[in-house]
Amino acid sequence: MNILGLHSGHDASVAILKDGQVAAAISEERLSRIKCDSDDLPLLSLEEIYRYTDISPKDINFLSLLMTFMPEEYFIRETLYKELERRWVRARRRLKAYLKGETFKSVLLVANLAEKLKKREKDLEDHFRWEKFRKDFGFDTIKWRFCDHHLAHAWPAVYFSNWDEALVVTIDGMGDDRIFHTTSVFRDGKLRRVAVSRGAAASVGLFYCDITKLLGYKPLRHEGKITGLSAYGDPSKLLDSMKPCLRLFPDKMTFVSDFSEKGGESERFRYLKKLIRSHEPSDVAAAGQQLVEEVVVSHVQAALRRYRLSRVALSGGLFANVKLNHEIAELDEVEEVFVFPAMGDTGNAVGTALFGMYHNDQERLWEVRARLDDVYWGSSYDEYEIEKILKESGVSYRRYVFEDLAGKVANLIHSGRVVGCFQGRMEFGPRALGNRSILAAPTDRTINDWLNKRLDRTEFMPFAPSVLAPYADDIFKNYSKGAYTSKFMTIIFEVYEKWRSKIPAVVHVDGTARPQVVAREDNPRYYDLIEAYYKLSGIPLILNTSFNVHEEPIICKPVEAIRALKDKRIDALMIENFLAVT
């Protein structure tokens, strides 16, 4: 059975499940080259995913999709009040302006409209113009279903954890029915929602967006900069004054704030804007980070105790916050934590596809359930295509057998060169995991300054290390709790003192690192490359940063990698079995 999962809205994406396993997944931004692309539907992704899977619309057996940003042309307009139609258009315009950083008024998502409609209509699917949608996109007469936004977050987190039981927590800015948080218990193959938090005035994700915007960065895009900046500040200067913005209900199961829902997120934003005047950005970031950690960790701890669980599966955009994930893992009640690698809305294409499979063939779904080996679900290019592009570009290149190529690239890295790595299928999600990465030595403590300038970036987080799995436990404290999720660069660990001076380029000011731990069976080529560097340097890891310049998505196509070489963003390019140099 082929199930297509489709997510429209910001970070639009498409995924295909084939017999219960992810055959392909790709985000629209990689193809449009527009960061966090929020076009109506991921049309480029649909075209591309059909190309590299050899699956056509006629081969799709079931379509699972999210309603939130589905274009209004696919709903029966006669069933909607004119006022609601007007709100729909306004919401879409406001979101696009918000993503561009042009406004930070209350973000009236289409989810607000959905809530209003549901008060009138029990089943919105009755108003979806399925026949028009089916014909427009070439599907046969197949079954289809809408999936709830936070359910699409929860499903991949719990499914790919491969645990028999777990606490499942999803938190973001806002989803359907104005929900920004859900907590569920997974037992006996069933996912039971036990807590929900609603409303912009208390949204944890929007609070972090507030901090991001107020410090001069773009919300829904630059939150990672705030996490990095927080390590340089003193949270005590603002923490108590920030607490009205975000707290827990007395039972610790839902998130609330001291701001009225009528005033909404705008009221809280105005309060914060006034509060942080004359304070250092690092102190603001530190207080915001600390407050989020306190309330979220306290909630997770309370839920684990209440439902007698020890494993936590996390998803939703807030859990791109690797420091928060570390604090959750450090709880005594936690045995293991897993963060779905595509934790933001990009991952909802996979989540809604799993939801579709659950409603079609549960037996097969559980039969093939397993932990993720990787998330290399994107497109790839054969050597014939690549060599043709290399020839046309005019760069100097040579083909090698991989064993020799790994040695040459390791030598370049060891000598201080910056090497672009383009191989295999592209990663799905926000992290570069060795197939669309920029690689360098982890020994240069000045690299955070000069390489970021070379890539037109402004970052406070250090670069991340890709670490050979056999050595991870020797480098990172309390590694076992996050061992699985560390394969995907979704958590930080404290680095043992004996390693910090050896690898300063990948250790933050607070002594932590955000590793990708690489097992040979997951990515043999990448493992062998790191091992070749280890033989030269005695250090079992390399610096890995995403293959892109500031404000661009991670590269997708060979021509983009070659352009980076010609623009001198990198010194050399390993592209499949070719090595190109300037």
Every domain of the chain with CATH number 3.30.420.40 lies at 2-155+344-367, 195-339
How wide is the angle at C-alpha 427 spanned by C-alphas 383 and 371, nearest 5°? 120
Every domain of the chain with CATH number 3.90.870.20 lies at 383-581
pTM of the model: 0.92
What pLDDT score was predicted for residue 96? 57
DSSP 477: T
Residue-wise over 5-25: b if at least 16 C-beta within 10 A, else e? Answer: bbbbbbbbbbbbbeebebbbb
What pLDDT score was predicted for residue 85? 54
What pLDDT score was predicted for residue 106? 37
Integer Cα distance of 137 and 277 in angstroms: 51
Q: What is the residue whose two structure tokens read 């309060």?
A: 271
In this structure, CATH architecture of domain 195-339: 2-Layer Sandwich (3.30)
> For the purposes of burial, counting CB atoms within 10 Å of the CB of 414, is it exposed (0-12), middle (13-18) or buried (19 or more)?
middle
438 - beta bridge partners? 420, 545
What pLDDT score was predicted for residue 355? 96
pLDDT in tens, the chain (582 residues): 999 999 988 899 999 999 989 999 999 999 999 999 876 789 999 999 999 999 999 999 999 998 767 777 787 655 554 445 555 565 556 555 555 544 333 333 444 555 555 444 445 677 788 888 989 999 987 899 999 999 999 999 999 999 999 999 999 999 988 999 999 999 999 999 999 999 999 999 999 999 999 999 999 899 999 999 999 999 999 999 999 999 999 999 999 999 977 665 589 999 999 999 999 999 999 999 999 999 999 999 999 999 999 999 999 999 999 999 999 999 999 999 999 999 999 999 999 999 999 999 999 999 999 999 999 999 999 999 999 999 999 999 999 999 999 999 999 999 999 999 999 999 999 999 999 999 999 999 999 999 999 999 987 878 999 999 999 999 999 999 999 999 999 999 999 999 999 999 999 999 999 999 999 999 999 999 999 999 999 999 999 999 999 889 999 999 999 999 999 999 999 999 999 998
What is the spatial order of strands in the sheet that 179-187 belongs to?
190-198, 179-187, 166-171, 311-315, 336-339
What pLDDT score was predicted for residue 81? 46
Pick the CATH number of 383-581 from 3.90.870.20, 3.40.30.10, 2.40.30.10, 1.10.287.3510: 3.90.870.20
The CATH code belonging to domain 2-155+344-367 is: 3.30.420.40
What pLDDT score was predicted for residue 76? 67
What is the spatial order of strands in the sheet that 62-66 belongs to?
21-27, 13-18, 2-7, 62-66, 143-147
Integer Cα distance of 447 and 79 in angstroms: 58
Q: Which helix (H) or strand (E) holds 193?
A: strand 190-198
